[in-house]
Copies of this chain bind each other. A is one copy, B any other.
Amino acid sequence: APAADKKLTGLVAAAFTPFTAQGEINVAEIGRYINYLREKQGVRSVFVNGTTGESMSLTVAERKTLAEAWCLKAKGKMDQVIVHVGCMSVKDSQELAHHAAQIGADGIAVIAPSFFKPNTAEALKKFLHEVASVAPSLPFYYYHIPAVTGVNVLGRDLMEGIEELIPSFRGVKFSGEDLMDFGQCVSYSKPHWSALYGVDEQLLAALAMGAHGAVGSTYNYLGCHFNELISAFEKDSLDQARTIQFKVQELLSYAKKLGFDLGVNKQLMNEVSGLCLGPPRLPLMPCPPERAQSIMKKYHSIFPDC
């Protein structure tokens, strides 16, 4: 089992995957990306090849190349690089888990397979176990996102007895609105586990429920504000934390009304950061320029100084 001394906390950016204009992965941009997160957003950990990274649209070879580049370039700059290795195929996931161990990732995460859906906690645990067992020295995180996967196993049920099965288990990225389940996960967690919340627009609620950290896509470009939110929360300045959360909500609910998918999200990151992460890959469509403009205008009106 991995060392228990690197508990994952704070903000973790769910990284976008940089593409060239031709739609090929563009590892050259990763160095700049890491500097940006660290210097401009105060973010020190990344979650790569996850949903935000369009992993399901990548080949296994591309995911390896990306994971390797992230681990290499983050050395000395990021606290932790968590590599998501979940695939529809358990064999592909095993290959990626094995690879993650070789390249020095700080941990791996696995989403529930969503085409064939494990319909019990037992089936899901068996699947995760098959993957975790090929990289037993790496901290293992379960990535819970039922609205996307359609796998409705409760996070708390997944955790039941998980350490006997997966000694490297270290926590959950919980991307759901069911805060009873999330609270029960927090309550059940061992001290060296991390209950990380994944719905950025209501992070404050999860902090109240005891979240140890957060993984999300908007931390790429709103990290500085969320770091302030977390500081305010830790100082019991709930009013201040709430003010920041409401601002984020105002931006994101505005974006949602216009249509806010991953392509739009990525374009916001391009515009706020100045990085060249390109458009998303099919079946996602590029962000219509006028939509990005409208949202950026709103962004500047809500966050004039950043």
Mark A residues whose CB is within 8 Å of B. Answer: 54, 56-60, 62, 88-92, 95, 112-120, 122-124, 126-127, 130, 148, 150, 154, 156, 177-181, 183-184, 186-187, 201-202, 204-210, 236, 238, 241-242, 245-246, 249-250, 252-253, 261-262, 281-285
Whether the Cβ atoms of B253 and A283 lie closer than 8 Å is: no
**B262 and A184 form a contact (CB under 8 A):** no
Whether A283 contacts B90 in the complex (CB less than 8 A), given A205-B205, A210-B242, A242-B210, comes out as yes
Chain B residues near A150 (CB-CB < 8 A): 150
A123: which B residues are within 8 A, CB to CB?
Answer: 282-285
A94 to chain B, nearest CB (A): 10
A56 touches B208 (CB 8 A): no
CB neighbours (8 Å) of A181 from chain B are 253
Q: A89-B56, A208-B238, A283-B113 are in contact. Are A246 and B126 (CB under 8 A)?
A: no
A241 proximity list for chain B (CB < 8 A): 208
Indicate if the CB atoms of B202 and A183 lie closer than 8 Å. Answer: yes
Contact present for B282 and A183 (CB under 8 Å): no
Contacts of A113 in B (CB 8 A): 56-57, 283
Q: Knowing A57-B116, A89-B56, A281-B90 are in contact, say whether A205-B179 is a contact too (CB < 8 A).
A: yes
Chain B residues within 8 Å of A207, by CB: 208
**Complex: chain B residue closest to A209, CB-CB:** B205
27 contacts between A and B (CB under 8 A): A57-B116, A59-B60, A59-B95, A88-B115, A90-B281, A90-B282, A114-B114, A114-B115, A115-B148, A116-B284, A118-B282, A124-B283, A127-B282, A156-B253, A179-B179, A179-B202, A180-B253, A183-B201, A183-B249, A184-B246, A186-B246, A202-B209, A204-B208, A205-B205, A205-B209, A208-B238, A208-B242
Query: How many angstroms from the CA of A166 to the CA of B119 in the assembled complex?
Result: 37
Pair B184/A249 contact, Cβ less than 8 Å: yes
